[in-house]
Amino acid sequence: MLYSKLRPYLNKVVLADEDGYCTSEILPLEFERNILPQYARYYLMSPAFLRYANKCSYGVKMPRLGTADGKKAIISVPPFEEQRRIVIAIEQALTVFRDEDWLAMVDYVTVTEDAGITVTFKDGTEIES
């Protein structure tokens, strides 16, 4: 998992498909076997984590999340099957938006306890399902 520490409000998180190297502005994260990588990605892109990252950021022109703060963040970890259900729900909601132009417009996705999903776009528009 690669998390961009530079300007965390841009919400850039990538699941790396192979080992490699990255700049110091990227926080490489490895999660234990009890966290689905896809769940971790969506959590790191959630409003809750984004608030944390923005709160811990330093710098005015180019704010960044410190490595130590990024690594000590507390992540909500539901049971494995619940993680799987959340990932499936988010991915089903995003199937409509698979085109890269649409995906670039999505700011974040929220899943509620009752499996409701809200897709929030960068312009503030929301779609609920």
Domain boundaries, the chain: 1-77, 78-129
The pTM assigned to this predicted structure is 0.72
Q: 3-class SS at 50?
A: helix
Give the DSSP letter of residue 88.
Answer: H
| Mean pLDDT value of segment 120-124 | 83
For 27-69, write each residue's pLDDT tens digit: 998 887 889 999 999 999 988 899 999 999 999 888 999 999 9
Mean pLDDT of the chain: 85
For 39, which DSSP code? Answer: H
124 vs 42, higher pLDDT: 42
Give the per-residue pLDDT at 103. 64
Instruction: Give the distance from CA 87 to its chain's centroid.
Output: 12
